[in-house]
Chains A and B, each alone.
Chain A
């Protein structure tokens, strides 16, 4: 069953087009990374999915129309929108009591269990917590909700690396069970690479790349090409070429590994490298044509 299905999603602000006919399909049990440069339409996409912004086009999330059925949808969807949205005046104990009061799928004991592993005391106010602790708190609340879809928009922004690592670890170990679906956007792509099952690149309000991580590993290969093989390697039409410490690293799409191993050291590229390649090609399409 697809959890999210979007067809021809459009959204224009006064001067800019944020979503330009975006198509998207997310299946149950997947962890999707939505990666894109600033202003590509990531947050707008998530806001549309969460019923926070009106849009044109077709969109169904868990069978609901998010804009008109937000309240109903939020029983089965939860999200962390940004690092600092928990009300600063609220006490941790008040937050827990409130969640029990308004959310039928919230399990207070579970949340308390997660919090017990942190140094967050129940009588503390959110404003007294450090940035990292606020994220821990928010994650504890969200993980205690038996939701079908979890949406994370830059959840680890501004956190140090220890908190970031912990965040994704607990998400995988304590939350993800194979039947839930998670969408995450982030700029720290290296850190989510091992977490994701699916990958999407978004640029100028459109999906420019969409594949599973298995596909990603099978499809893309990065070769550190020896100088003498450079011409032969270029003949195989790499999608991107960069220089590191005087050596050429070429990125190939859909080229058999046997052909590549002869040219140099082959490895799976990082998402960040592929991102740069794909975005560079999109941005520099005009430039490339001129060359």
Chain B
């Protein structure tokens, strides 16, 4: 009797430890992304700071902006709406340049800093695979940074709208027609679409290249990432007198290279003339070739992380 109950209790304990000993597969990934955000707080602090500067600029220029609009309202309606949308476009543009810079510097540092400060030895002492770690780091330029940028840009636009709504009626502009003419919802839709296509999906292989080099370089990963690009571009120019490679790489970074995402050549997302073509974008071979290249870079980065010692 006694031994039986003992056995029972033991098996109970066993199943208990077995239950607690396995975590859901996705949990290490979730915590790995969280720790990236803890380590790289500048990802959102920097964006917020830039947004604050933009707001400040909008505030001090609001009077001049109003004066310009007054003059145009009757003489040139087309130009008038352009002027109305201008500050919103400028803010969106500035935030996107910030996004590109942050993705660039984050990716070039991601697998380098953990080797430089030797903390890789701590991370590797935990049951988190190299694949999980690399995927968590790759998700920052692919998902986290674009989403943060969109959220902060929209919030900034919202504050600007509120400020305009206070100032405009006081200056005799009809708020109703202004709202209608600005078509903010369409603007935001285009903005979100533009960021996701041109600044997340399209340049993803370039960021994966930086991740890979950051896991390999003993110093100055950004430099090491740039050198082969410059070398290949130079070689192509000398031998074939062409610059396809440089153009291809450049398009990935600047985002102007999501050429299939819009019908119009002009990439500014809030241009009312642009029309989104998600089907064409997703169907373009360039996008999928880019993903394939990204997968190769990430696989190499995972393997490299297994072998690489601290710097």
Chain A residues in contact with chain B, CB under 8 A? 50, 52, 54, 70-72, 74-75, 78-82, 84-91, 94, 98-99, 101-105, 146
A41 CB to closest chain B CB (Å) equals 16
Beta-carbon contact of B125 and A101 below 8 Å: no
Say how far A145's CB is from chain B's closest CB, in angstroms. 9
Contact of B125 among A74, A84, A88, A146 (CB under 8 A): A74
**Further 15 A-B residue pairs, CB within 8 A, beyond A80-B125, A90-B38:** A72-B127, A74-B125, A74-B127, A75-B21, A75-B127, A81-B122, A82-B118, A85-B121, A87-B39, A87-B122, A89-B38, A102-B27, A102-B32, A104-B20, A146-B17
B49 is an interface residue with CB less than 8 A from chain A:
no
- One of A50, A80, A104 near B22 (C-beta < 8 A): A104
B residues lining the A interface (CB < 8 Å): 17, 20-23, 27-28, 30-32, 34-35, 38-39, 114, 117-129, 306-307
- Chain B residues, CB < 8 A from A86: 119, 122
Question: What are 8 A-B pairs with beta-carbon distances under 8 A?
Answer: A54-B307, A70-B306, A87-B119, A88-B117, A101-B31, A102-B31, A102-B126, A105-B21
User: Given A94-B38, A98-B34, A98-B35, are A103 and B121 also a contact pair (CB < 8 Å)?
Assistant: no
Q: Which residue of A lies closest to B310 (CB)?
A: A85
List residues of chain B with CB within 8 A of the CB of A89.
38-39
Compute how far the CA of A132 lies from the CA of B296 in the bound complex, rounded to whole angstroms.
43
Alpha-carbon separation in the docked complex, A152 to B127 (Å): 17
By beta carbon, the residue of chain B nearest A74 is B127
Q: With a CB–CB cut-off of 8 A, which chain A residues contact B30?
A: 101
Interfacial chain A residues near B39, Cβ < 8 Å: 87, 89-90
Closest 6 A/B residue pairs (Cβ): A101-B31, A87-B119, A81-B121, A74-B127, A71-B129, A85-B121
Nearest Cβ on chain B to A123's Cβ, whole angstroms: 13
Among B20, B21, B23, B38, which residue has its beta carbon within 8 angstroms of that of A102?
B23
Smallest CB separation, A44 vs chain B (Å): 11
Q: A50 to B27, alpha carbons, bound, how many Å?
A: 23
Q: What residues on B are CB-neighbors of A85 within 8 Å?
A: 118-122
Q: Per DSSP, are chain A's interface residues mostly helix, strand or loop, or mixed?
A: loop
Q: Are A88 and B119 in contact (CB under 8 A)?
A: yes
Q: Of all chain A residues, which has the CB nearest B18?
A: A104
- Known contacts: A81-B121, A98-B34, A104-B22. The answer to whether A71 contacts B307 by CB under 8 A is no
Measured CB to CB, the nearest residue on chain B to A77 is B125
Q: What separation, in Å, do the CA atoms of A79 and B122 have in the docked complex?
A: 8
Contact of A105 among B20, B38, B120 (CB under 8 A): B20
Given contacts A104-B22, A104-B23, A105-B20, contact A52 B124 (CB under 8 A): yes
Are the C-beta atoms of A78 and B125 separated by less than 8 Å?
yes
Complex CA gap A71/B307 in Å reads: 14
Report the Cα distance A84→B122, complex, angstroms. 9
Residues of A within 8 A of B117 (CB): 87-88
CB neighbours of A87 from chain B (8 A): 39, 114, 117, 119, 122-123
Given the contacts A87-B117, A98-B34, A103 and B122 also touching, CB distance less than 8 Å: no
Q: How far is the CB of A288 from chain B (nearest CB, A)?
A: 37
Cross-interface CB contact of A79 among B20, B120, B125, cutoff 8 Å: B125
Most chain A beta-carbon neighbours within 10 Å: one of B38, B120, B122, B124: B122
Please measure, in the bound complex, the distance between the C-alpha atom of A245 and the C-alpha atom of B35, giving whole angstroms.
58
The CA-CA distance from A85 to B39 in the complex, in Å, is: 15
Q: Is the Cβ of A99 less than 8 Å from the Cβ of B127?
A: no
Most buried by B among A71, A79, A146: A71
| A-chain residues with CB within 8 Å of residue B22 when the two chains form the complex | 104
* A84–B118 touching, CB < 8 Å: yes
Query: What A residues does B35 contact at CB under 8 A?
Result: 90, 94, 98
Give the chain A neighbours of B127 by CB distance below 8 A: 71-72, 74-75, 102-104
Q: How far is the CA of A136 from the CA of B124 in the complex (A)?
A: 19
Look across to chain B and name the residue whose beta carbon is closest to the beta carbon of A54: B307
Q: Are A101 and B129 in contact (CB under 8 A)?
A: no
B-side contacts of A70, CB under 8 Å = 124, 129, 306
Distance between A60 CB and nearest chain B CB, rounded to angstroms: 18
A85 to B21, CA, bound (A): 25
Q: How far is the CB of A92 from chain B (nearest CB, A)?
A: 12
